[in-house]
A and B are shown apart, each in its own frame.
Chain A
């Protein structure tokens, strides 16, 4: 088959679509022939035409990330046709909430210990400060707040506790299989 891209084999997209891979093929930089499954997944879920339109909507330097995120979503949707990435998001949110509760409880426990130390070791304060400095700043990010502000920014954020087949897998192991 005569091809203008005579030095390179057709990209995975053009191989899949059984067409000539032109030098200006929009898919070629992002779908190398060594990764046929990547394009197959993206094509199955989004369709080549939609992917092409989407790539034309974003700036060239953003296209690689766009393709990779589409591939990620496509793979998630193929593995879980009902929930796709939304299932993974639901699991992660529950994990964040659970961990935040654990952190709150642990902070409360630490305050109790700090108070106990203050009572029995009057000169304790500077030891605690030294320990704190050694361990780094105790003030972490406002994880709960940042999570909820993220959700507030995303569409349908109120509908986030989505039932998923991963409800019983709070460790997120099912999501980890995707990546």
Chain B
């Protein structure tokens, strides 16, 4: 039983040869997949990209191209880059929070050690000690340009 044309060849209105580079990754029952990828990258560019990589990597490549194409269709200005910048922002926020909590722990440890030495903590001095704890966390800002 000869299967029908792949979604790519159907879209391009051409015969689907037996060695069609698209057919393993663009089945005829999912025309949307090829439509998205074609709209953003173009059939010819996708074909070139697939030809330049090992066969065993092509399925994953098509999956990621499809993901990025869908993002770009949903957000024509930023595509998936917006998510990348948001993840960077999340990372920075979490690092900041972690640094604060670690500093608080250090402060409490100091208090406890002072009490354990049977030394009544000088309340003003112990508070000023907190200022000595440096926030030495790094925030590697590799943001896309549009994130401050």
List residues of A whose CB falls within 8 A of some B CB.
44-47, 49-50, 54, 57-58, 62, 65-66, 68-70, 72-73, 77, 81-89, 92-93, 95-96, 99-100, 102-103, 106-107, 109-110, 113-114, 116-117, 120-121, 124, 127-128, 130-132, 134-136, 138, 140-141, 143, 146-147, 150, 154-156, 159, 162-163, 172, 175-176, 179
Query: Which residues of chain B are near A163, meaning CB under 8 Å?
Result: 60
In the complex, are the beta carbons of B57 and A138 less than 8 A apart? no
A–B Cβ pairs within 8 angstroms, 27 of them? A44-B45, A46-B45, A54-B72, A57-B76, A58-B77, A62-B77, A65-B78, A66-B77, A68-B146, A69-B78, A69-B82, A72-B144, A73-B80, A86-B80, A88-B84, A89-B84, A89-B87, A92-B91, A106-B105, A127-B111, A127-B127, A128-B108, A136-B100, A138-B104, A140-B97, A154-B71, A176-B142
Closest chain B CB from A141 CB (angstroms): 5
**B52 touches A (CB below 8 Å):** yes
Query: Which residues of chain B are near A92, meaning CB under 8 Å?
Result: 84, 87-88, 91
Contact of B90 among A47, A49, A114, A143 (CB under 8 A): A143
Query: Which residues of chain A are near B11, meaning CB under 8 Å?
Result: none
A111 to B89, CA, bound (A): 26
In the complex, are the beta carbons of A120 and B76 less than 8 A apart? no
Query: Which residues of chain B are near A66, meaning CB under 8 Å?
Result: 76-78
**B20 touches A (CB below 8 Å):** no
Task: For the complex of A and B, list the 7 residue pairs with the smallest distance between their C-beta atoms, beginning with the closest.
Answer: A140-B97, A113-B108, A92-B87, A155-B70, A86-B64, A69-B81, A99-B94
Interface size class of B (residues with CB under 8 A): 35 or more
A110 to B111, CA, bound (A): 13
**B42 touches A (CB below 8 Å):** yes
Additional A-B contacts beyond A58-B77, A99-B91 (17; CB < 8 A) = A50-B39, A57-B76, A68-B146, A69-B78, A73-B72, A73-B81, A84-B64, A99-B98, A103-B98, A113-B105, A116-B108, A121-B111, A130-B127, A138-B101, A147-B87, A154-B71, A155-B67
Centre residue among A77, A96, A127, A131 by max chain B CB count within 10 A: A131
